[in-house]
């Protein structure tokens, strides 16, 4: 009688598949990433520009007569 050896039929999950499905908070708490991995200097520059635009809008109010309702 020829019996085939039993093989593991469960799918194999790689570490990459696990890590790629984790949220940033999970990656940080599990030690797969640190805060520097999520830092983007261009995002910081954009935040500064947005703050400048918001300040300009606050200082230069548009009169209601020039507003178009939609």
- Which residue ranges make up each domain of the chain? 15-59
Kindly report whether the global pTM for this prediction surpasses the value 0.85.
no
Residue-wise pLDDT for 31-49, tens only, equals 888 888 888 888 889 999 9
Look at the block and give the residue holding tokens 């696990």.
18
pLDDT at 3: 66
Ranges of H-type helices in the chain? 15-20, 24-30, 41-59
The DSSP secondary-structure symbol of 37 reads G
Torsion angle, CA of 13/16/22/28, rounded to 10 degrees?
Answer: 130
């Amino acid at each position: 009688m020829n019996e085939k050896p039993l093989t593991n039929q469960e799918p194999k999950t790689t570490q990459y598949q696990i890590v790629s499905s984790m949220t940033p908070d999970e990656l940080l708490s599990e030690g797969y990433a640190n805060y520097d991995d999520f830092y983007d200097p261009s995002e910081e520059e954009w935040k500064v520009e947005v703050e400048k635009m918001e300040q300009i809008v606050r200082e230069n109010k548009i009169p209601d007569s020039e507003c178009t309702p939609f």
